[in-house]
Amino acid sequence: MRFLGHFACLGTILLFSCQSSTDTTPETGQAPASPGWSLAIHGGAGHFDTEVLSEEEQDAYRRSLRAALERGGAVLESGGTAVDAVVATIELLEDDSLFNAGRGAVMTAEGKHELDASIMRGEDRNCGAITGLSGFRHPIAVAREVMTASEHVFFSGPGAARFAASTGAEQAEPDWFTTAKAKARWERALARDTTREKFGTVGCVALDKEGHLAAGTSTGGMTYKRHGRIGDSPVIGAGTWADDRTCAISATGWGEYFIRTAVAHDIHARMLHGGKDLQSAADATIQEEMGALGGDGGIVGMNAFGEPVFSMNTPGMFRGAFKAGGTPQVGLFASDSLAP
């Protein structure tokens, strides 16, 4: 079905061979069998290691990541779309105060929450995004409404809130979002007058049983961000991208650098136009483009065959993957191979 879509889209057999050669198994040169469905997530990248995170904190992150994978996996297993799975997975992470999205999101310089989210589906590259949204529990659900229920792709600030209200999106009081951890971060940033402390954005990529990809990202942005600052997470092509011909990508890290190097789209373009596989495309973009400018962070990606890929230039990235017939696998530190 996916391949028929490719022919219809570009009307050329060339693309079929390009698709087949971009992500093939080294042993056979053949495309790996589709896993049926596949899901991968991140919960932010950053400068954390076993010194920074206690055993208890590590366990808590692993539990939360597994729960999110199980939620999204259940949606895909029951025949839900990749978009359904991305939204369900990210909603759980938005409600989890361990992460910098929804509840637990970092605070702006003025001590408020201004949330960003975006979603994109690979089937037709439709997408939706919101930035500077306050007062709504699930920014990712609002981004989905922008994609499916509006003729636009991006709403900001009061306009985003007005749109969210018009769709009946669930509202939440400012207190819902504030946690002691986010407040303490804000106070430290206030003392130093800096935005550098920032990680914990969440993201998800998925392949559904129909062979369609989707990607989504949700964040509070960077602690102590200035009035109206927009990071990469809601910017389609920087923080999020999905195209059934190549890959789905969700990014996390120092947003300004991810925008300057259009990270998510750059990875896609290396695959589509350069014939790269997802891992080498992602590594080149993260190391040679974004990282070379001085930025830090990483991505979770998935190719059209449901192979999850991670790439980062930080010591840590909360992450996980789960395929049909498998068990949820999670990792925290760059050196971790994913483990059940």
- Known catalytic residues are 201
Task: Name residue 335's amino acid.
Answer: S
Would you count residue 252 as binding ligand ASP (CB under 6 A)? yes
What is the C-alpha to C-alpha distance for residues 45 and 251, in angstroms, rounded to an integer? 9
CA pair distance 240, 299, nearest whole angstrom: 9
Range 278-307, binding ligand ASP (CB under 6 A):
none
Cα 130 from Cα 139, distance rounded (Å): 7
Is 215 one of the binding residues for ligand ASP (CB under 6 A)?
no
Nearer to ligand ASP (CB atom), residue 178 or residue 218? 218
Contacting residue, 84, 232, 266, 296, with ligand ASP by CB under 6 A: 232
Question: What is the closest distance, in whole angstroms, from the C-beta atom of residue 308 to ligand ASP in the complex?
Answer: 18
Q: Calculate ∠ Cα 39-18-208, nearest 5°.
A: 20
Least distance to ligand ASP from the beta carbon of 191, Å? 20
- State the nearest-atom distance from the C-beta of 327 to ligand ASP, in Å: 27
Q: Smaller CB distance to ligand ASP: residue 88 or 312?
A: 312
Using CB under 6 A as the binding rule, whether residue 261 contacts ligand ASP is answered as no
- The one among 35, 102, 132, 221 contacting ligand ASP by CB under 6 A: 221
Instruction: Answer yes or no: are the C-beta atoms of 118 and 217 closer than 8 Å.
Output: yes
Q: What angle do CA 96, 211, 147 make, to 5 degrees?
A: 55
Q: Which stretch binds ligand ASP (CB under 6 A): 136-144, 163-171, 227-235, 330-338?
A: 227-235
Residue of 62, 198, 276, 319 that binds ligand ASP (CB under 6 A): 198
CB 129 within 8 A of CB 146: yes
**Closer to ligand ASP at the Cβ: 19 or 89?**
89
Task: Yes or no: say if 288 and 33 are a contact pair by the CB < 8 Å rule.
Answer: no
Q: Examine residue 139 and tell whether it contacts ligand ASP (CB under 6 A).
A: no
Site residues for ligand ASP, window 101-130 (CB under 6 A)? none
Residues in the chain: 340
Helix segments in 11-78, DSSP class H? 13-22, 55-77
* Binders in 31-70 for ligand ASP, by CB under 6 A: 44
Which of 201, 218, 246, 285 contacts ligand ASP by CB under 6 A?
Answer: 201
* Contact (Cβ atoms closer than 8 angstroms) between residue 231 and residue 222: yes
Cβ distance to ligand ASP smaller for residue 232 or 307? 232
Name the 3-class secondary structure at 205.
strand
Determine if 313 is a binding residue for ligand ASP (CB under 6 A).
no
Task: Dig out the tokens for 294 from the structure.
Answer: 């001085």
- Scanning 20-28, 157-165, 217-225, 300-308 for contacts with ligand ASP by CB under 6 A, the matching segment is 217-225
Residue at token pair 């954005």:
201
Q: Where do we find the tokens 């693309």?
A: 15
At residue 213, what is the residue type? L
Amino acid identity of residue 231, one-letter, is G
- Burial class from Cβ neighbours inside 10 Å (0-12, 13-18, 19+) for residue 188 reads middle
Query: How far, rounded to the nearest angstrom, does the alpha carbon of residue 51 sit from its chain's CA centroid?
Result: 26
Judged by CB under 6 A, the stretch of 22-30, 118-126, 247-255, 320-328 that binds ligand ASP is 247-255
Q: How far is the CB of 100 from ligand ASP (least distance, A)?
A: 6
Binding-residue total with ligand ASP (CB under 6 A)? 13
Residues found near ligand ASP in the complex (CB under 6 A): 44, 198-199, 201, 219, 221-222, 231-233, 252-253, 255
